[in-house]
Amino acid sequence: RVLIEDRLLSLCDEHAAEIQLHRVDSIAELRELFQERYGKRSLVLRRSPLDRRVFPPRPEGRRMADGRRASDR
């Protein structure tokens, strides 16, 4: 596992060594390093699948919408 900025990445030994070789310090540098061979897209996702919400879920559950019509209430 490699920590870059605030993101923990699970990589194989080969890719982890490549990151250390190029001294990658930011996610932008990481995305630049791992790009498609014949394209312009990065192979590194912009968001980590482990990203969590900033605020915990509401203890009372989701808010209920009032609806758009008076009869919806």
Domains of the chain, by residue range, sit at 1-45
Q: What does pTM read for this prediction?
A: 0.50
CB atoms < 10 A from the CB of 17, how many? 11
Measured CA to CA, the distance from residue 44 to residue 67 in angstroms comes to 40
HEC-encoded secondary structure of 46-60: CCCCCCCCCCCCCCC
Q: Say which residues have a Cβ less than 8 Å from residue 32's Cβ, sequence separation at least 6.
A: 42
What digits encode the pLDDT tens for the residues 24-57?
999 889 888 887 777 766 666 665 555 556 667 7
Residues 47/31, Cβ–Cβ less than 8 Å: no
